Structure 1
Amino acid sequence: MTSVSIAERLGQEKFLAQTYNRDFLHVPGAFADPGGLVSFNVLSDLIARHRLEPPRLRLTVDGETLPQHRYAVPVITRRNTRWDRVHPDELHQRLAKGASLVIDQIDHLHEPVGDLAASLEGWLRAGVQVNAYASWTSTEGFGVHWDDHDVIVVQIEGAKRWRIFGPTRSLPLHRDVVEPEPPPAEPVAELVLTAGDVLYLPRGWWHAVTADQGVHSLHLTCGISPPHTGARLVGWLADELLASDIFRTDLPIHAGPEAQAAFLSALRKEVIGALDDSGLLERYAAARDAECVGRLRPSLPYVQGVPADPELMVRLTTGRARLDIVMAEGETVTRLTGAGQQVDAAPAAGPILHRLLNVGWHRLGDLADTAGVSVADTAALVAELVGAQIATVRSEGR
């Protein structure tokens, strides 16, 4: 399952035009097999095999985080370093008594969830962090609260009851000037999400979540952050405008009223001119896409290059990579931008790069066949992408 599937269920362009940032949306039975993303077995393995310290792994009750010593024991290594190992029996007791289990950024720990996040990032052109939430009782893990980012929820197993109260401040932010008013006493909607359901909720919407009928529940929350706001556009534009002398000039705070008025007039003219650029929002979005490093991954053992092995597997490290045809030094090139880097290639490489934009692993030989070029030439291109951290490779089955 990918977020392309979620995009289809949410309505794709209709969702972006009418619902996104505006209203909640519940899509019952969106997926027949949500367990293909994650499962309780996966959670158990992640906890057993990784040193997940708070806040990466945490237990919460009524919005309060339990201290780690309630479910973990300290371990001193031979190198005299200390870490806290989760104690399974203590963990079970805390969960059975009403605590919720949270694993932050599970998209960096489990590849199917990482694929979900990367696909969402490519569709929404925004950063996505996925957290896993599991509970066993009807105790509210976080109480009635609002989030400073939009969320897309996928119910994996069991059922969750959502009470949605709506916003009391329009589109609040993490760093804001006013706190939202308390939520109303009665919810505007009360939903039960069962396995396969999807829920979209804009930021600022008060809500409370409990496991329905005391049955164990597992869901993923895809947090879309940070939001693309006017404030972020102006902040980005301020750096862009440093090319203009007036924006590098010291403020005339010691000058008279006429000189100050003239300075502000010149400043206003530059800002208005920049805002009149019809391509401004696309340039801003492209710049933000280019900055997203995604989920970087080394390509061991291939530290000295990428071999011309048709069975080698390749994927991009970011879901927000962009492909453009541009002029560079008088020649037409295909430019892939992402992870803070850009790579220019001959137009013949376009089909390879376009295929790599599809989230997931791609066989090197298939990439070569796509463009009708040799495996050796494809490996050389991939080596350049790996060197720029835009791509990663692995040996299939080894």
Structure 2
Amino acid sequence: MSMSFDQAIAPVTAQDFFDHSFEKKHLVIRRGQADYYSSLLSSSDIDWAVSTLGLSVPEVNVVQADREITAADFAYGSGFVDPVAVNQLFAEGATVIMSNLQERLPKLAMFCRELEKVFSARVQTNIYMTPANSQGFKAHYDGHDVLVLQVEGTKEWRIYDTPVHLPLEEQAFNPHDVPIGELTDSFVLEPGDMIYVPRGLTHDAVSTDQTSLHITTGLMMRSWADVMVEAVRMLALNDADFREGLPPGYANDGFDSTGAEAKFARLLGKLSSATLDPVLNEFREDFIATRLPRAHGQLTQMARLDRLGPNSVMGARPTLIYRLTDVPAKGDQPDSIALSCQGTVITLPAHARTSLEFAISTPRFTMADMPDDLDEAGKAVLLRRLVREGLVHFIE
């Protein structure tokens, strides 16, 4: 079982979160329920991953705020991590960071997919395990929003100013250029607590007298700036005016930019003809196509196909992110339905749409529960195809 976004931020509702906190201010949720996030991760998971998975840099990093640690201190020349060295550094006060651990642990992968359904954005995890009375990073801000889930131990957080509101990637934190600002809030996260930190909000954290383990879940959002850039690219595909080169000599001293200003104004006027739907559709297709399959136990599922029957208890794979598109008839090809999901496109007859939509959205069902647009043989064919594609699985 995984954890939904609603569960992760409870008792705050999703509506309240988006209305009052998202991209606006930090949010601290206290629960007094130490095991609230224990189903997602534990220190034994970290021990297992570091010691047995043969990880490499940057999947594993080791940092300490008051000490410079390089990859040569904990990794071989090949880049593979030395588990013994990692644990020695941890014992000396360093923080162990595991990046993108959702690609290694199915329970974290499912949690990220749950959030991806909500945000329509790529979601990743960075895991931080910090020994008692230690600090991994000095005060900084992140270039993406984060949900921090405190799993074990405690950590004191300090919140400062927001020097760059919602920074772009090229506005990444630079300690030499960005003032930290005044302390505006401080608190201790205990196991089961959570904090949301919008990008650009400066913060740091120090473990208390306990080893701290927390999940930092990064939300890699598209911005309206991305939309505008893509809109210009699409216009340029059909309008050579956008594709003309800049005036020769524009970089020289004394360049007369009068003509360039007029051209720029004309292009801005043309930009007003751009429409949002094609851009959003491009982003949507890219997002759906890059969500890799999360089909745990697929080999066992395939082996059960020969036993599929009317009383088989099936269910849609949880956290599917998909799009259904009606494809009109063309030539001798009849109407069909295209299902985009998990990096592939499945085309089925249009009359199977109702049963298809039911099967990929219903957590538990049998053939008898399915709509009657297909007969029993047709339902069996559909279910076998969906199991093979990792979209539907046997529950019992």
- TM norm. shorter chain > 0.5: yes
What's 2:352 paired with?
A: 348
Pairwise CA RMSD: 3.9
Is this contact kept in 2: 1:299–1:392, CA < 8 A?
A: no
Pair 1:231-2:225 in alignment: yes
What's 1:23 paired with?
A: 25
State the alpha-carbon separation in 2 of the partners of residues 305 and 236 from structure 1.
45
Is this contact kept in 2: 1:246–1:267, CA < 8 A?
A: no
What's 2:206 paired with?
A: 210
User: How high is the TM-score relative to the length of structure 2?
Assistant: 0.78
What's 2:180 paired with?
A: 183
What's 1:154 paired with?
A: 149
Q: Per the alignment, in what secondary structure is the counterpart of residue 119 of structure 1?
A: helix
Alpha-carbon shift at residue 107 of structure 1 (Å): 0.7
Alpha-carbon shift at residue 244 of structure 1 (Å): 2.0
User: How high is the TM-score relative to the length of structure 1?
Assistant: 0.77
Structure 1: 5+ residue runs without aligned partners? 75-81
> Aligned in 2, Cα 1:157/1:261: closer, same or farther, shift over 3 Å?
closer
Alpha-carbon shift at residue 92 of structure 1 (Å): 3.4
What's 2:253 paired with?
A: none
Alpha-carbon shift at residue 222 of structure 1 (Å): 0.4
> Aligned in 2, Cα 1:105/1:171: closer, same or farther, shift over 3 Å?
same
Per-residue displacement from partner, 1:360-391 (whole Å, max 9, x unpaired)?
xx78x7588545653332112444xx3xxxx4
State the alpha-carbon separation in 1 of the partners of residues 97 and 303 from structure 2.
39
What's 2:322 paired with?
A: 322
- Of 32-41 and 22-31, more deviation after overlay is shown by 22-31
1:181 partner amino acid: V
State the alpha-carbon separation in 1 of the partners of residues 161 and 196 from structure 2.
13
Is this contact kept in 2: 1:336–1:353, CA < 8 A?
A: no
Is this contact kept in 2: 1:125–1:285, CA < 8 A?
A: no
Is this contact kept in 2: 1:298–1:392, CA < 8 A?
A: no
Query: Once the two structures are aligned, what percentage of the paired residues are identical?
Result: 19
Q: Per the alignment, in what secondary structure is the counterpart of residue 169 of structure 1?
A: coil
Alpha-carbon shift at residue 16 of structure 1 (Å): 1.8
Structure 2: 5+ residue runs without aligned partners? 249-255
Name which of 291, 298, 304 aligns with 1:293.
291
1:272 partner amino acid: S
1:1-398 equivalent positions in 2, closer than 5 A: 1-6=3-8, 8-29=10-31, 32-62=35-65, 66-71=69-74, 84=80, 86-88=82-84, 90-176=85-171, 181-184=178-181, 186-212=182-208, 214-225=209-220, 227-246=221-240, 249-251=243-245, 253=247, 264=264, 267-275=267-275, 277=276, 279=277, 282-283=280-281, 285-294=283-292, 307-310=305-308, 321-324=321-324, 326-329=326-329, 333-345=336-348, 346=350, 348-350=352-354, 352-353=356-357, 356=360, 366=366, 369-371=369-371, 374-383=379-388, 386=389, 391=390
State the alpha-carbon separation in 2 of the partners of residues 262 and 167 from structure 1.
37
State the alpha-carbon separation in 2 of the partners of residues 187 and 257 from structure 1.
46
| More strand, by proportion | 1
> Aligned in 2, Cα 1:309/1:150: closer, same or farther, shift over 3 Å?
farther
Is this contact kept in 2: 1:355–1:367, CA < 8 A?
A: no
Q: Per the alignment, in what secondary structure is the counterpart of residue 166 of structure 1?
A: coil
- Of 28-37 and 49-58, more deviation after overlay is shown by 28-37
What's 1:78 paired with?
A: none
